[in-house]
Amino acid sequence: LLPLSMAVLAFMLVRKRWPEAELFGLGFGGAVMATNGIKWLVGRPRPDLFPSLVPMPPDFSFPSGHTAQITAFACCLSIIASRCRGAPFGSTVTALAALITGLVGFSRLYLQVHFLSDVLAGALLSLLWVGSIQWILGRTSPPAP
């Protein structure tokens, strides 16, 4: 997801979509950094209840980085789609993004690399982070002409 995110951000910058690039860069990038910081602060080990279906990642479990990243990516794209293309298109993007986010969260549980609380915390962290960034940017942006 990181390479795709960098491509999306580069596309916005090349097209000079400054407000969208700002939201996406701060929203997605901040969620990734916050997730990694919390992982090392909490230091929760990964589940060890059953034999793992895949090799365990070397980092900590809480919160789920994959879930946080896809949630931040999806939230940013949903907001941007609604702004740029209107409510019907934005609603379609939001529904598709919610489906993909749910599938990623489920995959983390199915592969037994996270607890449910890890997945929920990753999603909540990103929702709060992106929502806060959107609110802050809306409060600090100049009024539309």
User: pLDDT tens, 90-135?
Assistant: 889 999 999 999 999 999 999 888 999 999 999 999 999 999 999 9
d(CA 129, CA 132): 5
Residues with Cβ within 8 Å of residue 47, at least 6 apart in sequence: 61, 112, 113, 114, 115
Torsion of CA 68, 120, 48, 42, to 10 degrees: 70
Which residues are the active-site residues?
66, 114
**pTM to 2 decimal places:** 0.86
Condensed to tens digits (0 to 9), the pLDDT of residues 38-79 reads 999 998 988 887 777 777 778 888 999 999 999 999 999 999
Q: How many whole angstroms separate alpha carbon 84 and alpha carbon 3?
A: 23
CA 99 to CA 74: how far, in whole Å? 10
